Amino acid sequence: MKDKVYSQVYSILKTSREGVLDAIKGLADIGWDGIEAMGTNTGGLSKDDFHKFINDLGIRIISFHSLRDDYDREFAQEFGAKYTDVRPAHDLITVDQCKRSAEQLTKDCEYLKKFGLIGIVHNHATEFWPVEDDPDHNTAYDLLIRYTDPDIVKFELDVGWAMRAGINCGDLIRKYPGRFPVLHVKECNEVGKTYEDLEHFPRKVMEMMPPKPAAADDSKFIKGAPTFTDEQFKILKDSRKWNVALGEGLCDWVDIRNAAESQPGGCDAYISEREYFGPHGNEEDPFVWAKRDYDFLRSL
């Protein structure tokens, strides 16, 4: 797979701001074509020096997650990114909420065009739960695709989270061809049985979050992204052990690749992202897993 193999920096750092330069260099040393960045953290470098750092590594930033304002969007544009994630503005429990979210996503993605960016809707697993008042039992994900403008709104299908919800991702891509220019490549070895199994952040973790601090004291938040205690991270880790090594779970990667490539325009990027590392000794080192996932993708 040539010029399409990327890694999400979140896989290495999670929500930490520390060590981003080492993380990016480590991924470049493995051989990844580029990265999907988390926000605009330059590791303390000036913008010009960060440009040089990226260029000297010979990698590309194809996408950014967690851009919060126009400064961030301009930053992403300057670095030549093509995509950035967008998230629904409402809960996705009712048909009305899904329709209103779809309308907002279309507006958000239209606005991103001002910065040369394509908005991609990123999913977890609960989006694949049936909408409670839909007589046809559509999922929220189906409704978001149906009610967004296909020429403006694209989707970054996270295969692992979708598989966690029991979705055949090859069939999903074939159902909505052309909507998935980017995939998050993530493995899953167990389908969740309840809504709680599908939650991105377990309820216990969210119940332990402190109140959001005042603007004058935002040390616990990174532009809205929370930091977690060791106890919370343990709960998160234990809840995501379904995320095993690529090729060792339930996903049919050949079928998924074939479906993605058969879309109009194909697929631009396969971005590896990890929720869980382990459990064997030094394999908890994220770079060990990054290399393993890199080798799998290159051979696909």
| DSSP letter string, 179-209 | S-SEEEE---S----SHHHH-SS-HHHHHTP
**Domain range enclosing 195:** 5-299
Determine the Cα–Cα distance for residues 88 and 120; give it in Å rounded to an integer: 11
CATH of residue 276's domain is: 3.20.20.150
Instruction: Give me the pLDDT at residue 227, please.
Output: 72
Q: Using CB atoms within 10 A of its CB, is residue 167 exposed (0-12), middle (13-18) or buried (19+)?
A: buried
Total count of domains within the chain = 1
Count of alpha carbons within 13 angstroms of residue 223, beta-carbon side:
14
Please name which of 179, 211, 202, 166 lies closest in space to residue 102, comparing C-alpha atoms.
179
Task: Tell me the pLDDT of the chain (300 aa) as tens digits.
Answer: 789 999 999 999 987 889 999 999 999 999 999 999 999 999 999 999 999 999 999 999 999 999 999 999 999 999 999 999 999 999 999 999 999 999 999 999 999 999 999 999 999 999 999 999 999 999 999 999 999 999 999 999 999 999 999 999 999 999 999 999 999 999 999 999 999 999 998 989 888 887 765 554 444 444 445 677 889 888 888 999 999 999 999 999 999 999 999 999 999 999 999 998 865 555 578 999 999 999 999 999
